[in-house]
Amino acid sequence: MKNRGCKGCSDSYKVTEEQIQRILAAPMFQYPVSVSDDVYEARLSECSACPKLMDGTTCLVCGCIVRVAAKYRNRSCPNANDRRWHAEEAAEA
């Protein structure tokens, strides 16, 4: 089984738009766990210009689907050598 650099998936595995939409519709991706739409779009913009983005969906550093990972307030870009976006502080209670 050939691998193009992603740590866990073969060439034949592709995440579909439907699968991503289903994941993002889950309650666990809503506020206050998620970032605002503006922050989310800014993060995705950074990912789209990043050489570590594979197939427009997957981060080669961590293996995450960036449209999912970028939703989390407490996540940062995992590339310690070129961290393109950062975690937000926890929301005030």
Please report, as ranges, the residues that interact with ligand SF4 according to CB under 6 A. 46-47, 50, 52-53, 59, 61, 66, 77-79, 84
Complex with ligand SF4: residue 42 or 50, whichever CB lies closer: 50
Burial profile 38-49: b = 16 or more Cβ within 10 angstroms, e = fewer: eebeebbebbee
Complex with ligand SF4: residue 16 or 81, whichever CB lies closer: 81
Cα–Cα dist 5/66, whole Å: 16
Complex with ligand SF4: residue 27 or 53, whichever CB lies closer: 53
Minimum Å distance from CB 75 to ligand SF4? 9
Name the DSSP letter for residue 78: S
Radius of gyration of the chain (CA): 14
Minimum Å distance from CB 43 to ligand SF4? 7
